[in-house]
Amino acid sequence: MDVIIMADYDEVCREAAKIILDGLRAKPDLVLGLATGSTSLGVYARLIDAYQAHEADFSRVRTFNLDEYLGLTEDHTRSYAAFMDQNLFRRVNIPRANIHRLQGKPRDIERHCADYEARIREAGGIDLQILGIGRNGHIGFNEPGSSLSSRTRAMTLTRETVDDNARFFNTGEPVPRFVLTMGIGTILEARSILLLAYGVKKSDAIQRSIEGPVTASVPGSALQLHPRTTIVADEDAARLLSRKEYYRWVYQNKDRMSEFLT
């Protein structure tokens, strides 16, 4: 696991956007797994800036979103489909046909989820999966207790997550309790993973995911099993990490190993 500690949220977004744009330059038909939520907003803003400055071309990119609320169709303003349209898809040149997302009102949940997994496989798998993390350690909407080998499926949100999500809804508006989400097993099949976190609220989840035991009780800890995961956290989210100074040293000296090549 590579752990990168940045000063603040803005720096987290800059570093994350750089990793994504480097990936895009190396592979113009990059398959991206995408997250919604506050953390990803600043990263998407930077991708849009890069597109507008003619520094990035998304015309061959394919995307798969992590999750969607059950009961909300694409045209519902609180759906994750609407979030993605508003904050990324309408503002860069990803062809509509290349955008894949879970439906909030599928005809058959199991079939729809199996079909989503098949579409990921047909695309050749996800090259780079972007993740945020919940206060309780969830990744995607795999809440604590989710099997580490879970696949795309329906999930019930915890009360804590529903309360956190309430900020995107008007007062009195019902906040969905049920979602569809890629599974932890699905996420772990991505070739590389980039998890982002900022703020004190995420510090416990970040510490347990990076330095705690691998356990279904902290879904983010499953990333320890993945060979190419990068975690970018700001100082606040990183504050409980015991090996903070080590992570910093590794990052600052990351190019030095090339000195030893013959």
Touching ligand F6R, residues 164-223 (CB under 6 A)? none
> Residues 28-57: x/- map of binding to ligand F6R (CB under 6 A)?
-------xxxxx------------------
Give me the catalytic one of 15, 67, 117, 127.
Answer: 67
Q: Which residues contact 8 (CB under 8 A, 6 or more apart)?
A: 198, 234, 235
Helix segments in 159-212, DSSP class H: 159-165, 184-188, 203-211
Task: Please indicate whether residue 211 is annotated as part of the active site.
Answer: no
Nearest alpha-carbon partner for 132 in 31, 26, 240, 209:
209
Given a contact cutoff of 8 angstroms between Cβ atoms, the answer to whether 66 and 132 are in contact is no
Q: What is the CA radius of gyration of the chain?
A: 18
Of 58, 116, 141, 247, which lies in the binding site for ligand F6R, with binding defined by CB under 6 A? 141
Of 15, 67, 117, 127, which lies in the binding site for ligand F6R, with binding defined by CB under 6 A? 67
Closest residue to ligand F6R: CB criterion: 132
In the bound state with ligand F6R, the residue whose beta carbon lies nearer, of 240 and 250, is 240
Cα gap 248→254, rounded to integer Å: 10
Number of residues that bind ligand F6R (CB under 6 A): 14
- Retrieve residue 128's tokens: 């780079």
Give me the catalytic one of 15, 117, 138, 164.
Answer: 138
Task: Please indicate whether residue 253 is annotated as part of the active site.
Answer: no
In the bound state with ligand F6R, the residue whose beta carbon lies nearer, of 104 and 140, is 140
Binding flag, residue 79, ligand F6R (CB under 6 A): no
Region class of 76: left (phi > 0), else alpha (psi between -120 and 50), else beta: beta
Please give the residue ranges that form the binding site for ligand F6R (CB under 6 A): 35-39, 66-67, 132-134, 138-141
Task: Catalogue the active-site residues.
Answer: 67, 136, 138, 143
